[in-house]
Chains A and B, each alone.
Chain A
Amino acid sequence: MSGVPVAHPEPATAFDVTAIRRDFPALQQLVYGKPLAYLDNAATTQKPEAVIQAIADFYRHDNANVHRGVHLLSERATSAYEAAREDVRRFINAGEAREIVFVRGTTEAINLVAQTFGRQRLRPGDEIVVSAFEHHSNIVPWQIVCNEKGARLRVVPMTSAGDIQIEEYERVFSDRTRLVSIVHVSNALGTVNPVRRMIEIAHRHGVPVLVDGAQAVAHLPVDVRQLDADFYAFSGHKLFGPTGIGVLYGKAELLESMPPYQAGGDMIRSVTFERTQYNTLPYKFEAGTPDIAGAIGLGAAIHYVERIGLDRIAAWEHELLRHGTGRLATVPGLRLFGPPADRKAAIFSFTLSHAHPHDIGTILDQEGIAIRTGHHCCQPLMHRLGVDATARASLAFYNTFDEIDRLVAALDRVQEVFG
């Protein structure tokens, strides 16, 4: 390990990160002879043994299709799949399990709402509101449906400090506003948007709100009823679960009113060649055989996270964030983007005056440190910041003070090569 030993403050609650790290097989490896410091958690998270085991156990013992067979394995598969839905409901405190729709990920969840709610409700001249923070996946689905319907995308700007311009947001509403679709936590900057307040404002105008929670659920407690979110979307793989599974939460009365997204098996109650009667929620939106093992893996990930507790996770990550913010400030030529630590999730998005983010990424990789470089699928945001790309170190609860010190030490190495 490189770097000078630093006396680290003990976090408020005892957090045994060493024990936690032992639960993650992928974190135990060396890359280029150095211990892996995985700081690309906003892209995807590593999986605990409990998740890997749950998926393997399903395929070893219970594998069958759901909602179909009369045989025992099908019953076991169905009850495990539905138990995972209940895990998700509890995790985000939704009112009913039928409000939880399993999808492939956040992207599919947003596309589902755009193609059903959007296509059904948008008329020429109508407006959809997004923000300057949005990931391409919360821009493009709306552009497509807006183009088709002659509707308009309105964009709420951000301040140069990396916060949403809430006064501009209040002014954006008109009698043509049909939906707000807003990111909870920015993947490029870490900004935590004041979504509860934003939802309250939208509801005063009678406008429903979709929250893109992809970067939120692994870092802070989310309660969809307390937020009063109309839709909430997230991906399993950013929550220590498998890829290919995600969640769309929707208030039952909204989901009921929407047409199906895809057509196929499981989403129908009865089919004749003349007429099809759709299934009840949530199956109306789950055409075809779902990712059963993925849902079960996500359920296991939720159990794992709940056992640690999101309050403790948030507290630990905040300590890491504060430590890193201080250490990075000492790096010559480093520009850190986004708001201060108290309004941010554990993401460091930065540039160096003497080296391009790509070169930073390659050099850090050689030191065993995995980060993301580029525009983070947020080109409009990058344009606003006046950069083509940033280097992004994004944390999870299994990251350590030492890994942050190694990141800082590796940036000195970048300085050596490019200085």
Chain B
Amino acid sequence: MGDLRELYQEVILDHNRRPHNFRELPDANRKAEGYNPLCGDHLTVFLRLEGEVVRDITFVGSGCAISKASASLMTDSVKGKTLGETSALFDAFHRMVTSSGAEQPPAALGKLAVLAGVREFPARVKCASLAWHTLKAALTAQAAPEAVTTE
């Protein structure tokens, strides 16, 4: 049985109320939109990629507390990381929220571990992973600065 307090930890509620990096990024050179057609959650992730390093990352959009907090925590943890490190975080995060076991999340996930409770709520896993899938889409997208405008 899922425990509500495991899901809605104070850190998550804080990030939901005051999300970090919640703005558009005027000098972004990568951007992707993520959308969950089942629930209507949508967000846009902006990236400033310099060589192999994510120099800056922001997001805008609307969704539930889990998707918003997850996006907020993601931007904090990815900023300044290399593409390789980002990819490793993606994999570790994905494993954490989809694994059925109760093993401890790896230390490398840092604050992202507060989202481990999501795995007890299968209907909410997509909320937590929406931002990460959108980040992946932004990283694999071709550099297209002209597409990154304030709409």
Contacts and interface: CB of A to CB of B under 8 A. Distances in A.
Interface of A: 32, 355-359, 362-363, 366, 373-375, 379, 382, 388-389, 417-418
Contact of A379 (B13, B40, B63): B40
B64 A357 contact: yes
Q: Which of A355, A357, A388 has the most CB of B within 10 A?
A: A388
B133 to A, nearest CB: 17
Given A357-B64, A359-B65, A417 B13 contact: yes
Contacts, number: 49
B124 A417 contact: no
B69 to A, nearest CB: 10
The 7 closest A-B pairs by CB, nearest first: A358-B64, A356-B64, A388-B40, A374-B39, A389-B40, A375-B40, A359-B65
Contact of B65 (A32, A382, A418): A418
A366 B4 contact: yes
A355 B16 CA distance: 10
A176 B141 CA distance: 45
B124 A362 contact: yes
Nearest to B7: A362
A373 B38 CA distance: 10
Interface of B: 1-2, 4, 7-8, 13, 38-42, 62-67, 121, 123-124, 127
B4 A359 contact: no
Nearest to A374: B39
Nearest to B123: A362
A165 B13 CA distance: 41
B39 A417 contact: no
A356 B42 contact: no
A363 B127 contact: no
A362 B40 contact: no
Given A374-B40, A382-B40, A418-B65, A362 B121 contact: yes
A358 B39 contact: yes
A418 B5 CA distance: 12
Contact of A358 (B1, B2, B42, B124): B124
Contact of B8 (A357, A373, A375, A417): A417
Nearest to A390: B40
A363 B4 contact: yes
A357 B38 CA distance: 13
Contacts of B62: 388
A355 B39 CA distance: 14
Nearest to A361: B123
B4 A358 contact: no
Of B13, B64, B65, most A-chain CB atoms within 10 Å? B64
A246 B22 CA distance: 47
Contact of A388 (B7, B13, B41, B65): B41
A379 B37 CA distance: 10
B97 to A, nearest CB: 15
Contacts of B39: 357-358, 373-375, 389
Nearest to A358: B64
Nearest to B2: A366
B19 to A, nearest CB: 13
Contacts of A374: 38-40
B2 A359 contact: no
Nearest to A357: B64
B131 to A, nearest CB: 15
B39 to A, nearest CB: 5
A143 B38 CA distance: 21
B67 to A, nearest CB: 8
